[in-house]
Amino acid sequence: MGTTLTFAKALNTALADEMEADPTVVVFGEDVGALGGVFRITDGLTARFGEERCFDTPLAESGIMGMAVGMAMNGLRPVVEMQFDAFAYPAFEQVVSHVAKMPNRTRGKVKLPLVIRIPYAGGIGGVEHHCDSSESYYAHTPGLTVVSPATVPDAYTMLREAIRHPDPVVFLEPKKLYWSKEDLELEALRSSAGSFGRAVVAREGTDATLITYGPSVSTALNAAAAAAEEGRSLEVVDVRSIVPFDDETVSASVRKTGRAVVIAEAPGFASVASEIVARVQERCFHSLAAPVLRVTGFDIPYPAPKLEHFYLPSVDRILDAVDELQWEDA
């Protein structure tokens, strides 16, 4: 029988299922215990599993991450919550210097199977330090797996796979999707194999490919639906995994359509979007009918809530980019 789950509840269920299946999984962070987290992702876990396995920490992100490193080195599988994306920066030194490097530093003798959960990106009207798109920092750091789900089923399966992963995973959760809902077969999802590290074609199309991930997938799908009303067929590829990057799926789509637009909320300069453009140009050059374009956030600090809608990629901005793909040569 089908179950209606929100994105947030899917993450909560994934945590509970992994904690039930593996006693080494521990969850901690600021206000994740009795409160259940700011977004209630850890709701009920302390009551069910006890304070030794889901507990609150002091407001000290560097300490949270350092503790997670020690736990992972000694046989546990910590899942830490950074309360908001920009709150994670005090822990960045630990992530870069220790989380990402420990397995390499020890020639693989010391594994760090830990997950860093980060509510990220915009769309909720958050004030300064509460909305940021920080994926490029983590993607640029060798040794980290970086993923971002965009659907309720992916929220569940990808978090479970991240917890089981032998290496550290930065798990980016789009805040604006927490309240989205989908009907799904939860028991079937629990037994599914998943496809960690792989992109998926979220919508089939023939004229151009929209390449995106996380919070921008729904916007890209809306743009494709609007384009269809005007007779233009746009394919949408949900990258899902930023690192490792699924060149095979992305390149196959671009070779089929011959045109591409990359969409992301983060600023465009030196970004994940820039990397995707470069990879597509390198691998699909002879199939391209036009340069690969980008629709991203602007190269400015994240704006105040009332200006957010000007900053974020929109359906109109995406369709404007699609119109620039040299259709006169088609």
Fold of the domain spanning 200-329: Rossmann fold (3.40.50)
Alpha-carbon distance of 240 to 169, in angstroms, equals 13
Whole-number Cα distances in Å, 99 to 29, 85, 93, 280: 17, 17, 9, 30
Q: Which of 130, 165, 286, 309 is catalytic?
A: 130
The total of other beta-carbon atoms located within 10 Å of residue 22's CB is 13
One fold for both 3-190 and 200-329? yes
Strands (E) across 143-284 are located at 145-147, 169-174, 181-184, 200-203, 208-212, 234-238, 241-243, 260-267
- Positions in the chain whose pLDDT score sits under 50: none
With CA atoms as reference, report the closest residue to 208 among 307, 71, 57, 319. Answer: 319
Alpha-carbon distance of 173 to 181, in angstroms, equals 15
Strands (E) across 213-320 are located at 234-238, 241-243, 260-267, 293-297
Fold of the domain spanning 3-190: Rossmann fold (3.40.50)
Helix (H, G, I), strand (E, B) or coil at 266: strand
Is residue 130 part of the annotated active site? The answer reads yes
Judge if the upstream peptide bond of residue 153 is cis by omega within 30 degrees of 0: no
Helix (H, G, I), strand (E, B) or coil at 305: helix
Q: Which sequence spans correspond to the domains of the chain?
A: 3-190, 200-329
Average confidence score pLDDT of the chain: 95
Helix (H, G, I), strand (E, B) or coil at 67: helix
Is the Cβ–Cβ distance between 313 and 321 less than 8 Å? no
All residues at 6 or more sequence positions from 18 whose CB lies less than 8 Å from its CB, including other chains:
25, 79, 159, 160, 163, 164
Residue listed under structure tokens 């889901």: 54
What pLDDT sits at residue 1? 58
Query: Per-residue pLDDT tens for 101-146?
Result: 999 999 999 999 999 999 999 998 888 888 999 999 999 999 999 9
Residue listed under structure tokens 């020690």: 70
Query: Per-residue pLDDT tens for 96-105?
Result: 999 999 999 9
Alpha-carbon distance of 4 to 291, in angstroms, equals 41
